[in-house]
Amino acid sequence: MNYKWAVLSSYMFVAAISQLLWLNFASITTPIMTDLYNVPAEDIGLLSAIWPLIFIPLSIPAGIITDKKGFKYAVSLGALIMAVFSVARIFSGENFTLLLIFQSLAGVGQPFVYTSISKMVIEWFEDKERGLATGLAVIGQFLGLMSALIFTPMLVPDTNFSEFQTMLIVYSAISVLSLIIFTVVAKEKKVSSTESNMISFGVVKGVLKSTDFIILNVLFFIGIGFFTGILTWIESILEPRGISVTDSGVIAGLILIGGIFGSIVIPFLSDKLQRKKMFFLLDFGISAIMLYFITVSNDFIILSVSTFLLGFFLVSALPIGLDYSAQLVEPNMTGTIQSILWLIAQGGAVLLIPVMGSLENPVLYPNNPFLPSMILVIILDVVSLVLSLFLREGRAKNERR
């Protein structure tokens, strides 16, 4: 049935918008935003940093709503919240406090979008397609992230409030468009009322205690945490080694591009082979090697290849992990289970970003001040690799039967 791809595409659009609005201001923090609002860079950073903090307490409620009301209701609600407050940002004028409030309220919509991925995929796609479909849904997020980093500086090249307002108008219009398209295109497949509304918290409690789910949570915490940390600090990591800001931006872009390709290829292979554990091992194993080169190399070509491959393999573990977690419970509880994974993942990002920054030591390592941070990241990646050995292939499916 080809309509499933239309549903997936409409979801990808909303997912992209959630990332676009989240990182809306990251690429123009200094000097444009600091000059426009006459506030320090740390305050501008709050416009992006506040979203993960909002996500954490809302993640599980969003997952429960997804399971009780369905993915269309949840995503539509998230898209509506983002659209309303992206429009509201236009009217904040030169008042930074108002901009921060409206930006924060827009972030309330993101958990509803994230926790609905597997709910939608399970309803519309067969087992042999679910890994790829999940990968494509994740790609929507990365396309939005890249769009924020690429198009925002193009729309606001100078410290010009009129250009800044135009950018807000353009992004709010696209946000409203994504809401309309998803609301019109997305449909729930008919399921029994019992399946769609009943959530067994006893089953959820049992899953929380299972070895597979505990390991999966650690993998999400570490993987999302240090991936976000590297993207956050990439310029500071490479600049002391003689890599220019422009080249650092290219290298950061290659991580994302690699992630996009990896989120197609690896889940596709996982679907074909009906295997997931081996790909966790492959992803974290190759990531460890690439992290070593990123840690020690001063060569732009080596760094470019290494970061592309890091993105390709590390990011592909995300859709495989989401698909794996969906096998641990019945379809009517995937939102709740995955909301816990997303909560842990966001917690990893919130914790590891400042930890990596605090370990910077320009006194001991003037040419590579982030060496202690990168050593920590490599150790965490190896821990993930070892833990992946204990995941059980196909266990969830067999137990559910």
- Cβ neighbours, 10 Å, residue 19: 22
Separation between Cα atoms, residue 171 and residue 93, nearest integer Å: 16
C-alpha dihedral, 315 to 42 to 348 to 78, nearest 10°: -70
Residue 382: burial class (beta carbons within 10 Å; 0-12, 13-18, 19+): middle
Helix axes 277-296, 211-238, angle to 10 degrees: 20
* pLDDT recorded at residue 188: 87
Say what the pLDDT of residue 396 is: 46
Task: Spell out the domain ranges in the chain.
Answer: 1-186, 199-401
What mean pLDDT is predicted for residues 239-259? Answer: 88
Residue 218 pLDDT > 50, yes or no? yes
Q: Average the pLDDT over 350-377 and give the result.
A: 92
Topology of domain 1-186, CATH: Growth Hormone; Chain: A; (1.20.1250)
pLDDT band per the 50, 70, 90 thresholds, residue 193? very low
Q: Which residue has the higher pLDDT, 4 or 330?
A: 4
Please tell me the least confidently modeled range out of 210-219, 230-239, 289-298, 328-337.
328-337
pLDDT reading at 328 higher than 50: yes
For the cut 60, the answer to whether the pLDDT of residue 172 exceeds it is yes
Q: How far is residue 159's CA from residue 46's CA, in Å, rounded to a whole number?
A: 19
Q: Is the pLDDT of residue 391 over 50?
A: yes
Tens of pLDDT, residue by residue over 124-160, are 998 889 999 999 999 999 999 989 888 998 999 988 9
In three-state secondary structure terms, 149 is helix
- Counting residues of the chain whose pLDDT is more than 90, the rounded percentage is 66
Binning pLDDT at 50, 70 and 90, where does residue 399 land?
very low
Q: pLDDT at position 314, please?
A: 94
pTM for the whole structure:
0.87
Same fold, 1-186 and 199-401: yes
Q: Please state whether 96 falls in left (phi above 0), alpha (psi between -120 and 50) or beta.
A: alpha
Cα 57 from Cα 60, distance rounded (Å): 7
pLDDT value of position 203? 66
C-alpha closest to that of 70 among 150, 11, 139, 140: 11
Count of beta carbons in the 10 Å neighbourhood of residue 108: 18
The encoded tokens of residue 190 equal 């008919």
Write down the number of H helices and E strands in the chain.
Answer: 18, 0
Mean pLDDT check: name the lowest of 42-46, 137-141, 162-166, 339-343. Answer: 42-46
CA dist., res. 300 & res. 339, Å (int): 38
pLDDT value of residue 75: 97
State yes or no: pLDDT of 397 exceeds 80. no
For the ranges 107-116, 232-241, 272-281, 298-307, which has the lowest average pLDDT? Answer: 232-241
Q: pLDDT tier at 201 (50, 70, 90 boundaries)?
A: low
In this predicted structure, what is the pLDDT of residue 231?
86
Asked whether the beta carbons of 159 and 31 are under 8 A apart, the reply is yes
> What tokens appear for 148 in the block?
């924020």
Q: In which band, very low, low, confident or very high, does the pLDDT at 308 lie, cut at 50, 70 and 90?
A: very high
- Check if CATH label 1.10.4190.10 holds for domain 199-401: no
Where would I find the H helices in 239-333?
Answer: 245-273, 277-296, 300-326
Is there a contact between 248 and 239 (Cβ–Cβ < 8 Å)? yes
pLDDT attached to residue 1: 55
Looking at beta carbons, which pairs linking 185-194 to residues 24 or more positions away fall under 8 Å?
185/6, 185/7, 185/9, 185/10, 186/7, 186/10, 186/11, 186/71, 186/72, 186/75, 186/76, 186/120, 187/3, 187/7, 187/72, 188/70, 188/71, 188/72, 188/123, 189/123, 189/124, 191/123, 191/331, 191/332
Residue percentage of the chain with pLDDT more than 70: 94
Q: What does the alpha-carbon distance between residue 269 and residue 279 come to, in Å, rounded to a whole number?
A: 9
Structure tokens, 56:
């954490």
Mean pLDDT over the full length of the chain: 90
The per-residue pLDDT for range 71-84, each reduced to its tens digit, is 999 999 999 999 99
Place of tokens 């239309």: 6
